[in-house]
Each structure stands twice: as structure tokens, then as C-alpha cells.
Amino acid sequence: MAKVLLKALDILALFDHSRPEWAEHEVAAALDLPTSTAHRLLTSLRSRGYVVRARSGRYRLGPAAMALGRRASNGALAPSLRAALERVAAETGETAVVGIRDPAGGGLLILDQLESSQRLRLALEIGFVQPLHAGAASKAMLAHLEPREIERVLTEPIPRIGPATITDREMLLRDLEGVRRLGHARSREEVIEGGWGVASPVLGVDGEARAVVGIVAPVARHSAKAEQSAVVAVARAAQAAG
């Protein structure tokens, strides 16, 4: 029974922002399962609403999985981080996000967000995991990890995620040094085309980032004044949450 449960959880973990739909045979190949086993597990998950099947025959996360994710997010966010999220959203008028290191991998997990009330806005899906080298929130986290962790990220191929992702190792190292020196990270179209952001780390007593607080916004509303206001807002909120 335990093995079956773990396999079912492995299937749910496959669905993410970059690949929200999977075919039966793709699930089987990704997890090295017999196709019959993948079919049986997907059928069980579908019967409970954790996955749904599109007309194409491919599967995507269902309402039960979405509800579980929302409950987990509400329970996981510490009061100080929730206060930081609300403060940043109120002060900037843009979408505020809180992220942590993904426990299941090496990326940044978007733990919660408050969307901007403006008609033109950007948002990141709660539960979305983005690479540590791209985007303000990710770089705010990466810059404050242990040196060996930073080296591990930078010795791997550095893929391009958005139009302006930094893929040069030395350039990224200089950027991270600036993040540590200034206390915040900035990005423009590193993850989302047409988006910019700033973020600051929530530091623990060991100097490592236990979370990050930031904003994402459309470049149509970018200006030097807006960016500097966001820098001040996220820095104050992150410091208060620490």
C-alpha cells in the first residue's frame, strides 16, 4: 500500500507550470512504470478528483489537487510572512509573492501571492517552482545560500528561461554579489516576457535566506521611480519578517 501511495504522489509531482498536461504513456516513461500501472493509478486519482482527463486524452491536475494546494499554502505561511506579503501588495499595488527553497528539489517554490487589483497584472502560480538562477525572487534566494550550493547551481548548464535570463556564469556571480551587497535582487524579463520584479531575502540567524518576498509587474508600468519604491517596500517587509 505504501509503495502505491508513493507512486501516486510521484505522479502528482510531475504536473507543474512548465508541463501541466501528461499522457498516460508519458507518465509511465517518466517514472519507469508499466503502462498498466500508470493507467491504474491515474484512474484512481481521477476518481478522487486529483486529476482530470481532457478531450485530448491527456491528464492535468483536478479540483481536489488544487484545493489541497490552497489548504497547504494557507497553513504553511507563517504569520510574519503573510504580513510581509500584505504589506508589499498594499505599498506597491503590484502582485506580491513569497517564495521558499523547494523541499523536493533545487528551485524556488512560490508559496503564496496576492495579485494586483490592476487590470494589467502579472501573477505566478502558487506551487510553481522556478530555477534558482532566473528572476529576482530566485536570485534573492540563491545569493544567500551556502557557497557550495551556489557553486552546484552554477556548474550545471544555465538554461535560458526568459528573453533576458542571465546564462553567463561570471555575469551571474557578479549579479549575486550585488544582491548580497545591496540586500535585494532585480530582474527584467528573466522568467516572464514583459515582466520585471524585485525581491529581498528573509534571512535567518545563520545568514541564509529562509524565504524571499518580492513583486512581479508588467514592464508597461515600469519606471525608475516604481522600481525604487518596490525595492524599499520589499526590503522593509523582508526585514520585518526576519
pLDDT at 144: 94
CB atoms within 10 A of CB 86: 13
pLDDT at 104: 65
Measured CA to CA, the distance from residue 82 to residue 4 in angstroms comes to 36
- Is the pTM value of this prediction over 0.85? no
What is the three-state SS of 39-76? HHHHHHHHHCCCEEECCCCCEEECHHHHHHHHHHHHHH
Please list the rounded mean pLDDT of every run of 10 residues in the chain (242 residues). 80 80 92 92 90 88 74 64 93 95 79 92 84 95 92 87 94 96 96 96 87 96 96 95 83
pLDDT at 237: 95
pLDDT at 24: 94
Angle at 21 between CA 48 and CA 10, to 5 degrees: 60
pLDDT at 72: 59
> What domains can be seen in the chain, in order of their start residue?
2-62 (1.10.10.10), 77-241 (3.30.450.40)
The closest alpha carbon to 181, from 139, 226, 223, belongs to 139
Coil, strand, or helix at residue 142?
Answer: helix
Q: Got the DSSP string for 172-236?
A: HHHHHHHHHHHS-EEEESSSSTTEEEEEEEEE-TTS-EEEEEEEEEEGGG--HHHHHHHHHHHHH
